Amino acid sequence: MTQNLLEVQGLKTEFKRGDGSITAVAGVDFVIKKGEVLGLVGESGCGKSVTSLSIMRLLKDTPGRISGGSVRFEGTDLTKVTDKEMRQIRGNEMAMIFQEPMTSLNPVLKIGLQLMEPIMLHLGYGRKKAREHAIHMLRLVGIPRAEDLVDEYPHQLSGGMRQRVMIAMAMSCHPKLLIADEPTTALDVTIQAQILDLMKHLKEEQDMGMLLITHDLGVVAELCDRVVVMYAGRVVEEASVHDLFAKPQHPYTKGLIQSVPKLRQNVRRLDSIKGNVPDLSQMPAGCKFAPRCDYVTERCLSQEPELLPIEGLERKSRCWLTQQENTEGGERL
């Protein structure tokens, strides 16, 4: 059996707001196995990025805090380790690529210095060896004239090159788990394809696990093994990438897939999900998707369903309709 690399159980993250707090992540559960790519998808504001920041323990300088659950990395609960211990894990065994490299790279430091810092810290290399390793990593991610680029500043590089630098930095200590938060959002289509091919190659070469956070279902289909769909801070469906696209179980997942533009689609308007993600401070009483769902019932409005396995299928869904039809043997949507 494949060993679990990361186990997230009941993760709950809250943010202070005035005299109270709002829950941005409400009891999220998922597992990433060694060498597996898990996609985390959903609309903006559903809690994807907050989940990743919680896993990496990067909420310290924000109003947010982890208020419940556990995040086990190779059996160690990261919610219970000290800040010093977490700094040894972060950037070394776990690394993260942020969605906007220009705000993640220090504009006043040369690329080489920023690459060398984690290499010297975690691998214990001296400056000369760390510089050589930094140049090697830049070449590995397909950057030409890497020996010259180490002495340049972030503003001298294109968006695609900066994103490659971020990938080189994240991969420099050969992490076991890579978290990529919207790694291709700010790039044009051609560069997106190159970055995805690069990430796939590095993942296979180093046999690492990956959490890919995105709203782009095309990226999910290209790179992921399994998919977790989030809505309003909750997981609403989990399935293999093939099963998810072939037969979505949750109405929200079905809406996301139907919203993807299709080639030669002879329609005047694109499909869309009506309404918006609910305000975290004014969540509906029952199913959080009920106000936008075409299949809503009275039960949906008053009781929130649990995320449960679907009998006979290796997947989970948070939907009363799915659970009822599963029990009665009826057909899905």
pLDDT at 290: 93
Question: Within this chain, do residues 57 and 29 fall inside the same structural domain, yes or no?
Answer: yes
Residue 18 lies in a domain: yes
CATH of the domain at 250: 3.40.50.300
Q: Please report whether residue 325 resides in a domain.
A: no
pLDDT digits (tens, 9 = 90+) for 266-289: 656 677 888 888 888 889 889 999
198 and 84 share one domain: yes
Over residues 210-220, the mean pLDDT reads 90
d(CA 106, CA 104): 7
Higher pLDDT, 196 or 236: 236
| 183 SS3 class | coil
Supply the mean pLDDT for the chain: 88
Give me the pLDDT at residue 333, please. 39
Q: What are phi and psi of 144, to 5 degrees?
A: -75, 160
Q: How far is CA 108 from the centre of its chain?
A: 29
For residues 161 and 156, give the distance between their C-alpha atoms in angstroms, rounded to a whole number: 10
Same domain, 84 and 222: yes
Structural domains of the chain, count: 2
What is the pLDDT at residue 330? 39
177 — pLDDT class (breaks 50, 70, 90): very high
Q: What is the pLDDT of residue 266?
A: 60
In single-letter form, the type of residue at position 80 comes to: K
Q: What is the pLDDT of residue 196?
A: 83
Helix axes 127-140, 111-123, angle to 10 degrees: 110
Q: Does 166 have pLDDT greater than 60? A: yes
Is residue 277 situated within a structural domain? Answer: no
Per DSSP, the residues of 130-163 read HHHHHHHHHHHTT-TTHHHHTTS-GGGS-HHHHH
For the residues 112-141, what does the mean pLDDT come to? 93
Shared-domain flag, residues 86 and 207: yes
Give the whole-angstrom CA distance, residue 97 versus residue 94.
Answer: 11
Could you tell me if 193 and 169 lie in one domain?
Answer: no
- Domain final residue pick, 145, 174, 203: 174
CA distance linking residue 278 with residue 297, whole number of Å: 18
Q: Does residue 204 share a domain with residue 152?
A: no
Decide: 233 and 23 in contact? Cβ < 8 Å. yes
Do 114 and 137 form a contact (C-beta atoms < 8 A)? no
70 and 58 share a domain?
A: yes
pLDDT at 186 (0 to 100)? 67
Q: Which residues span the domain enclosing 55?
A: 1-93+176-263
Domain boundary among 241, 263, 285: 263
Q: Within a domain: residue 60? A: yes
pLDDT band at 326, cuts 50/70/90?
low
Mean predicted confidence (pLDDT) in 23-35: 94
Domain for residue 299, yes or no? no
Q: List, for residues 54-113, the tens digit of each pLDDT value.
A: 999 999 888 999 999 999 999 999 999 999 999 999 988 999 988 776 678 899 999 999
For the record, the structure tokens of 43 come out as 């609309």
Give the pLDDT of residue 152: 94
259: confidence class by pLDDT, cuts 50, 70, 90: confident
Q: Is residue 309 part of a domain?
A: no
Is residue 119 one of the residues assigned to a domain?
A: yes
The model's confidence at residue 332, banded by pLDDT at 50, 70 and 90, is: very low
Instruction: Give the percent of the chain with pLDDT over 70.
Output: 93
- Give the end of a domain, one of 263, 295, 311: 263
Cβ(23)–Cβ(17) below 8 Å: no
- Which one-letter DSSP state was computed for residue 90? B
181 and 84 within one domain: yes
Q: Per-residue pLDDT for 265 more than 60?
A: no
